[in-house]
Amino acid sequence: MNDTVVTLKKGEGRSLKAGGLWIYDNEIDTIKGSFQNGDVVCVHDFDGYGMGRGFINQNSKIRIRMMTRNPVQQIDDAFLQRRVQAAWDYRKDTVDTSSCRVIFGEADFLPGIVVDKYEDVLVVESLALGIDRFKETIVALLKEVLLKDGIKIRGVYERSDARERDKEGIPRVKGFIGEAFDTDIEIVENGVRYMVDVANGQKTGFFLDQKYNRLAIQRLCKGKRVLDCFTHMGTFALNAGTAGAYEVTGIDISEFAVQQAADNARRNGLQDTVHFRCANVLDELPRLAAAGEQYDVVILDPPAFTKSREATRNAVKGYREINRKGLQLVKDGGYLATCSCSHFMTQELFAKTIREAAGSVHKRLRQVEFRTQAPDHPILWAAQESYYLKFYIFQVVNER
């Protein structure tokens, strides 16, 4: 066990003391002992009180990511096995586990690592140097835990190719962990079939966090005309088609995504009612409005407009504009589903932005429901970064 001790400045560590897992570089007073970046060190408060143990990286502004609140806890296989087992037990209690996020980093007290399960394949994303040292052990332990429930994992693929690794001073990595396998995996979610390309799709191949938000859309779409913006693989559009919408249009700027979506429509026998086209949503919505098009349901699922606190002001403008344009296409009495996947866009700020958009086009909103990410992406209240997805459904009523 490394005997390096990191001591916090007096008055610092507020997030840690509230239950968070991060310690920033400017919160640290002294570091005593020898270590290498990625080592597990002991953290003390300014008065010497033991706060726990976590891995350190001087390349990152997030200087320490905590693994335990026990200052004498060994970070060994037994410790990791308990964390992995707890993560899987939680998923079994809360979600359909055929395809789900099995480990969600800080929210599962395994900071910096994400593991998604697509049927009998695991996809791993490691974002921090310290957890990178444990990733293959975590994968092996997870395979053992799943096997106890009769789930035999046939392959593991690593998608540690995100830019966040640059901030940790570690190279981006992509490829198989273990033997190679076919990286196209068919999954079924909410009764809809998808082909997921875990090697080339966005993130780990599929956005599992919207699972139950897509299901919530189904009950609004029977017999309706639906527009799905930023459709990606056609997920909301296909849920609408499965629910019995008579016409669904999905739009995305990526030709690759549109081709995937069209393939998925055929896979579900929906090619006659669910159609996709490649276009820039920001340009396409005004064109549709000018043509007098109206829809019973409009869905806005844009990528994150901001990934930093500094860019939030411009993001607000982007969200306001996209919602204003989307609202103009909703029939009187129709529905708007709109979301933000940036944790810097708080629920309060997002609601204010939508309210301003509605006012600018003289629409009144009746909130049907507010939702967040699926339970396999749990929100750890002390870790703000774990709460990122905000999803509203509104009925849209013309002012009169």
* Strands of the sheet with 274-278, listed across from one edge: 274-278, 247-252, 225-229, 295-300, 330-340, 390-398, 363-371
Q: Is residue 114 part of a domain?
A: yes
Measured CA to CA, the distance from residue 298 to residue 293 in angstroms comes to 12
Q: For residues 211 and 345, state if they share a domain.
A: yes
Which residue, among 133, 124, 174, 178, has the nearest Cα to 40 in the 3D structure? Answer: 133
C-beta atoms surrounding 287 within 10 Å: 11
**Mean pLDDT value across residues 184-194:** 96
Q: Is residue 36 part of a domain?
A: yes
Which residue, among 62, 83, 82, has the nearest Cα to 20 in the 3D structure? Answer: 62
What does the pLDDT read at residue 306? 60
Measured CA to CA, the distance from residue 102 to residue 117 in angstroms comes to 6
Catalytic status, residue 229: no
Query: DSSP letter at 192?
Result: E
| Structural domain boundaries enclosing 393 | 207-398
Q: Is residue 195 part of a domain?
A: no
If pLDDT is split at 50, 70 and 90, which confidence band does 223 have? very high
Q: What does DSSP say about strands 247-252 and 274-278: parallel, antiparallel, or unpaired? A: parallel
Q: For residues 160 and 62, state if they share a domain.
A: no
Q: Is residue 196 part of a domain?
A: no
Q: Is residue 199 part of a domain?
A: no
Residue 92 amino acid letter? K
Q: For residues 21 and 95, state if they share a domain.
A: no
Q: Is residue 200 part of a domain?
A: no
Number of separate domains in the chain: 3
Residue 30 amino acid letter? T
Q: Which of 42, 100, 229, 341 is catalytic?
A: 341
Q: Mean pLDDT in the chain?
A: 94
Measured CA to CA, the distance from residue 155 to residue 137 in angstroms comes to 15
What does the pLDDT read at residue 264? 97
Q: For residues 130 and 273, state if they share a domain.
A: no
Q: Is residue 317 part of a domain?
A: yes
pTM of the model: 0.94
Q: For residues 223 and 296, state if they share a domain.
A: yes
Q: For residues 238 and 169, state if they share a domain.
A: no
Q: For residues 159 and 104, state if they share a domain.
A: yes
Q: For residues 229 and 111, state if they share a domain.
A: no
For 145, the token pair is: 């835990």
Q: Is residue 228 part of a domain?
A: yes
Domain stop point among 68, 92, 122:
68
313/284: higher pLDDT: 284
pLDDT tens for residues 345-399? 899 999 999 999 999 999 999 999 999 999 999 999 988 889 999 999 999 999 7
Measured CA to CA, the distance from residue 156 to residue 185 in angstroms comes to 12
Q: What is the CATH number of the domain that holds 56?
A: 2.30.130.10
Q: Please provide the DSSP assignment of 61-114 as one string.
A: SEEEEEEES-TT---SHHHHHHHHHHHHHHHHHHS--SEEEEEEGGGGT-TTEE
Q: For residues 213 and 345, state if they share a domain.
A: yes
